[in-house]
Structure 1
């Protein structure tokens, strides 16, 4: 396939208020610059605290295209370490997750503690006085967390995480109410790749416009009450720009705060679950809180550049190349919560997000078609003007109706800011 061309437009000319140039999906040079100017200069999501339950717990992940290990040490501190031996660059961990006392390079046996410090090398006498172990720890990234969400960055000058998140913090707090009083826990994930640029998926999380079209088969699989609830395009919802490229799409306003409106009738699809919880001895207020949490929140929160808190799961994107992206869908449950409630959450996750569900195959085919279509025509633009005339200023930024492309415009303005910094 011929290498795409950006027609020699300066980067600052590739993003306008209401459109972006197609080369943002296709230009390998832009992709390389994104890895340096965005994924090395942002707070990038790497894990949820529940994935590291005890000392020695770890998972492998990526920051941009650079492999990392996220690990909890014996003092309960979380570290994000480059997955690269300081000797000859071999990875020191290949498992997706697990528990260990140390990391040992399989090539020459250099061993590292959980905090990344170099503990030992085989046959140290060969080095004489020319090896100071203190100079060669695994490289550690700056790491901060908010409400269980762990982020890392290469940029030591970036603002603290809480400042970076800004108004998005209150939406993270609301999302975590899905624990219904129990801690939120990642209950596993499934991964898949699609042949398309990472920004195509980034756009999707706050795109309500596609929902009744792409997901028609999903809507047809629901009971009438749930189908009416998800008929939100044209409803009272909204999309809001939260700054720094973050945005929230509120599809079902009555499900923003799961601790509210607990006296409303229990949805038909959860009546049996409610009866089971009562039979297990849960008091009525807690039954209603758990049932309400099982269904998930009424919004999708996009955190630029790589993670979404999407109704009832985490969606993480991993750029592979300019034309390939890996997606991680992480199901969440109530840690220590009722087994029946957690089982119900997993069944709902499987119904839409799961590999045999209705939503993921439809979305991924649409993303693939966008990438394929981006190869047609020359010097064309991607339109992002839906809802622009009706946008209004809010306390946290700007907002449009629920099917507005406000979230996409927010992300691309942040893209432009970082790419031209």
Structure 2
């Protein structure tokens, strides 16, 4: 039965009949991907609960008056930079009738005005004026005790970390760096703690529950099997030196590999892993050339932050992915490809070229756009079933010498169960 959303919160009454399998985090009930009531509860307990959600990058709001629209779960959000350079976030919902205030993905404005009845807000979300507040020719208008200070856009608590703007509706959740934990925060600093440059963006809609993509990002086991390009061209394989680090609450993770330390394993031939046993060549071999950026030798990493973001580094391609639920069986996935201000033009071009590895039509990640839909379609008629996740064991613990494991996926479900109260 569903109980409290978090140990620090007051106990909640059960709201639906749901029991996790006795095997614990080594199973994920299929019902989680199709049940509209569970999906609705996630909006409250995860996205509007004790979590930090990636909103945008600081560099995406370079000038006073810039805004971007995004979502926290399904809640529409505006992020702005005011005329003093301060960043604000607020729900994109007019305090009058509830209409969206900002309709564009991004813009530069002096203030925010709802097109419906022209209620006007400052860049901090404070109501500044109401059309016809005093009526017309002395008739109508707002009551004499109407107070603009009591009608603003709902604020969202925000924090900036390594150039990323995070938002939360929770007043109790710890700060972002503490939420990440020391190992996760340090690895983000490795990749992002310097001035960033946006090289490109794109998005796609995938027809599956958002948690299937959250699983996919943590599943290092599938990468060498599904993504044949990785294996064929020795970009990321399980027989490279690498491992997985989980955060204290298990819901964030880092998976890493060192390309230079590949020792080809017999298991690739024994298991008849496709594309591992023949030679191929690229007409454009420059795609796979890279320079060593960090002294730790890591050439591939996937880092997740619960509930819905990822930082990837492959060769020299750096990107942020974040994804938003758009219904129980639909997810919107966004990609921001990055470089550093210090990059030379040649380095920028190499990063842009390598960005073809990932993204909606990437040489590597193309398959992820459909594989999670296969799971959605395969499980939707069996809400009583559950997935089996025992590769590498049955618990969620860091594994610093292997990625042939589903430990990070189990870690996601451990964190999910905690915040949902399952």
Give the structure-2-normalised TM-score: 0.81
Distance in 2 between residues matched to 1:71 and 1:357, nearest whole Å: 32
Alignment CA distance shift 1:416-1:355 (3 Å): closer
Aligned residue in 2 for 1:242: 247
Aligned residue in 1 for 2:97: 88
Q: Aligned residues, how many?
A: 371
Distance in 1 between residues matched to 2:22 and 2:357, nearest whole Å: 35
Alignment CA distance shift 1:49-1:11 (3 Å): farther
Distance in 2 between residues matched to 1:240 and 1:9, nearest whole Å: 34
Shift of 1:15: 7.6
Shift of 1:50: 1.0
Distance in 2 between residues matched to 1:303 and 1:39, nearest whole Å: 13
Paired residue for 1:192, among 188, 201, 204?
204
Alignment CA distance shift 1:135-1:32 (3 Å): same
SS of the aligned residue for 2:145 comes to: coil
Aligned residue in 1 for 2:334: 328
- The reply on whether 1:337 has 2:343 as its aligned counterpart is yes
Higher normalized helix content (fraction of residues): 1
Alignment CA distance shift 1:315-1:272 (3 Å): closer
Shift of 1:79: 0.9
Distance in 2 between residues matched to 1:302 and 1:163, nearest whole Å: 15
Aligned residue in 2 for 1:278: none
- The reply on whether 1:102 has 2:111 as its aligned counterpart is yes
Q: What does residue range 207-218 of structure 1 map to in structure 2 within 5 Å?
A: 207-217=219-229
Distance in 2 between residues matched to 1:176 and 1:380, nearest whole Å: 41
Say if 1:55 and 1:76, in contact at 8 Å, map to a contact too.
Answer: yes
Shift of 1:331: 0.8
Aligned residue in 1 for 2:192: 176
Say if 1:241 and 1:399, in contact at 8 Å, map to a contact too.
Answer: no
Say if 1:26 and 1:197, in contact at 8 Å, map to a contact too.
Answer: yes
SS of the aligned residue for 1:138 comes to: coil
Distance in 2 between residues matched to 1:401 and 1:360, nearest whole Å: 22
Summarize deviations over 1:35-74 as a string: whole Å, max 9, x none. Answer: 1101111111111111111221211000010000011112
SS of the aligned residue for 1:403 comes to: coil
Distance in 2 between residues matched to 1:271 and 1:33, nearest whole Å: 44
- The reply on whether 1:369 has 2:374 as its aligned counterpart is yes
Alignment CA distance shift 1:124-1:149 (3 Å): same
Alignment CA distance shift 1:271-1:385 (3 Å): closer
Aligned residue in 2 for 1:112: 121
Q: What does residue range 268-347 of structure 1 map to in structure 2 within 5 Å?
A: 297-311=299-313, 312-335=318-341, 337-347=343-353
Say if 1:50 and 1:185, in contact at 8 Å, map to a contact too.
Answer: yes
Shift of 1:190: 0.8
SS of the aligned residue for 2:416 comes to: helix
The alignment yields a C-alpha RMSD, in angstroms, of: 2.8
Shift of 1:83: 0.4
Say if 1:38 and 1:418, in contact at 8 Å, map to a contact too.
Answer: yes
- The reply on whether 1:35 has 2:43 as its aligned counterpart is yes
Distance in 2 between residues matched to 1:160 and 1:14, nearest whole Å: 34
SS of the aligned residue for 1:157 comes to: coil
Distance in 1 between residues matched to 2:382 and 2:235, nearest whole Å: 40
Say if 1:239 and 1:250, in contact at 8 Å, map to a contact too.
Answer: yes
Summarize deviations over 1:293-342 as a string: whole Å, max 9, x none. Answer: 9x995211010001000112111010111111110011112236322221
SS of the aligned residue for 2:71 comes to: strand
Shift of 1:412: 0.7
Distance in 2 between residues matched to 1:237 and 1:89, nearest whole Å: 50
Alignment CA distance shift 1:271-1:161 (3 Å): closer
Shift of 1:97: 1.3
Paired residue for 1:380, among 382, 385, 388?
385
Say if 1:143 and 1:150, in contact at 8 Å, map to a contact too.
Answer: yes
Q: Which runs of 5+ in 1 are unaligned?
A: 1-7, 221-226, 256-267, 275-287
Paired residue for 2:216, among 179, 188, 204?
204
Distance in 1 between residues matched to 2:209 and 2:325, nearest whole Å: 7
SS of the aligned residue for 1:17 comes to: helix
Aligned residue in 2 for 1:280: none
